[in-house]
């Protein structure tokens, strides 16, 4: 590892990193100042087929929790998101876009309601803890904000439910989508949600105690042998095919939730007070100028999209692809793209300026890719 990415404490190891290395990880990315495994099998495609058919164990500790607790906690959380959280019950998980005063996206976490006055924000890659602290200090709110010792471990794939039911009991099967339950693990109470960053079904175990990390990994790993379990990580093919967006890729502070297709999570009638309400009302009344779409494009398997690729119509840029990959199922390249209103209709012919300097013919399509 000494020549790898993990050269300092600043890029944090997780409770599972030792296991992940033993399991043959082929490199890491960095999310929230923490290691995220990048690949295990020789190709992302092999990981993809396995994820669709079996079950995988993912170290997603980098999905850090921002805990907000105290008398003003519910008020602060509601202030941060356009989504009405008033009807959320304890045991619910809510996908909550967080926006600034311009309506720009700060993050797109999952909110877990732990109690009426205690919440976790399970975050994508930006320091929501600092934003939350800034808001609370600035407004003088009575809240306690911290990053608890919680390290999510995801179990994803069609066999995840059977595997976890065997380990944690049949009650696992009763957890609804984006709901959680509390389960026993070695005498401790742990939160398990039916959620995860794939479309293949599965669970996330919000392990609250780093010291139990290796034991939890081993326990699932051993029981998983009869389910053909492998180590894994968010899969780029599966994510793009499934139309799952990634903060920092498909969305940044330059984007508002309406153009990302998150309008259904925005209460704009004034019944909910939040930062950015006026900005989003204005955008909604004018109509968004661009929106996320899929693009299917031809040619050989495309290279990695590490900077946005221009999408052109008649030699004019009308959008950009921010994530793209060869789909082994569709046998074509697929990309997630922001596209201007005039050109976002299904079937619109476009030209993609690929990073390998090639021009590819493509068509706009709805998401997820069929």
Nearest approach in angstroms of CB 323 to its own copies is 7
Nearest approach in angstroms of CB 260 to its own copies is 15
Could you write out the three-class secondary structure of 226-251?
A: HHCCEEECCCHHHHHHCCCCCECCCE
What does DSSP assign to residue 123?
A: -
Quote the tokens at residue 351.
């030209």
Residue with tokens 């100042």: 33
Nearer to its own copies, 176 or 301 (CB): 301
Nearest approach in angstroms of CB 339 to its own copies is 16
Quote the tokens at residue 319.
């959008």
Nearer to its own copies, 58 or 203 (CB): 58
Burial 97-133 (b: 16+ CB within 10 A, else e): bbbeeebbbbbbbbbbbbeebbbbbbbbbbbbbebbb
Residue with tokens 């092999």: 46
**What is the C-alpha to C-alpha distance for residues 147 and 109, in angstroms, rounded to an integer?**
14
**What is the C-alpha to C-alpha distance for residues 274 and 292, in angstroms, rounded to an integer?**
24
Nearest approach in angstroms of CB 252 to its own copies is 9
Binding site for its own copies (CB under 8 A): 1-11, 13, 26-30, 33, 38, 100-101, 106, 125-128, 130-141, 236, 246-249, 275, 303-308, 322-323
Nearer to its own copies, 2 or 225 (CB): 2
Nearer to its own copies, 162 or 209 (CB): 209
Nearer to its own copies, 159 or 293 (CB): 293
**What is the C-alpha to C-alpha distance for residues 330 and 26, in angstroms, rounded to an integer?**
26
Nearest approach in angstroms of CB 234 to its own copies is 11
Nearer to its own copies, 100 or 340 (CB): 100
Nearer to its own copies, 155 or 280 (CB): 280
Burial 246-281 (b: 16+ CB within 10 A, else e): bbebbbeeebbbbbbbbbebbbbeeebebbbbebbe
Nearest approach in angstroms of CB 122 to its own copies is 17
Output the CA angle 18-20-24, nearest 5 degrees. Answer: 115
Nearest approach in angstroms of CB 176 to its own copies is 31
Strand partners, 231: 57
Nearer to its own copies, 160 or 244 (CB): 244
Nearest approach in angstroms of CB 140 to its own copies is 8
């Amino acid at each position: 590892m000494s020549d790898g990415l993990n050269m300092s404490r600043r890029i944090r190891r997780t409770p599972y990193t030792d296991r992940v290395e033993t399991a043959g990880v082929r490199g890491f990315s960095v999310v929230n100042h923490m290691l995220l495994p990048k690949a295990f099998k020789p190709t992302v495609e092999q990981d993809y087929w396995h994820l669709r058919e079996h079950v995988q164990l993912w170290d997603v500790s980098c999905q850090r929790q921002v805990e907000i607790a105290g008398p003003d906690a519910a008020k602060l959380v509601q202030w941060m998101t356009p989504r009405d959280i008033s009807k959320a019950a304890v045991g619910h998980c809510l996908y909550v876009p967080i926006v600034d005063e311009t309506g720009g996206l700060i993050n797109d976490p999952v909110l877990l309601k732990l109690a009426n006055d205690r919440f976790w924000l399970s975050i994508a890659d930006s320091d929501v803890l600092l934003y939350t602290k800034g808001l609370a200090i600035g407004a003088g709110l009575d809240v306690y904000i911290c990053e608890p010792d919680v390290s999510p471990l995801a179990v994803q794939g069609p066999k995840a439910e059977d595997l976890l039911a065997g380990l944690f009991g049949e009650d696992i099967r009763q957890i609804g989508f984006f709901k959680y339950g509390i389960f026993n693990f070695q005498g401790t109470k742990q939160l398990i949600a039916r959620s995860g960053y794939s479309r293949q079904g599965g669970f996330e175990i919000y392990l609250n105690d780093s010291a139990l990390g290796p034991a939890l990994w081993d326990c699932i790993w051993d029981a998983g042998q009869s389910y053909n379990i492998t180590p894994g990580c968010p899969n780029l093919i599966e994510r793009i095919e499934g139309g799952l967006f990634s903060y920092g890729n498909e969305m940044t502070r330059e984007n508002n939730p309406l153009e990302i297709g998150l309008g259904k999570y925005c209460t704009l009638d004034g019944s909910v007070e939040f930062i950015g309400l006026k900005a989003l009302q204005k955008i909604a009344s004018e109509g968004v100028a661009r929106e996320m779409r899929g693009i299917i494009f031809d040619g050989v398997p495309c290279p990695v999209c590490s900077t946005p690729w221009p999408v052109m119509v008649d030699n004019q840029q009308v959008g950009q692809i921010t994530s793209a990959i060869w789909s082994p199922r569709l046998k074509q390249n697929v990309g997630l793209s922001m596209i201007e209103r005039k050109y976002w209709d299904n079937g619109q012919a476009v030209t993609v300026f690929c990073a390998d300097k090639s021009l590819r013919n493509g068509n706009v399509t709805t998401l997820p890719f069929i």
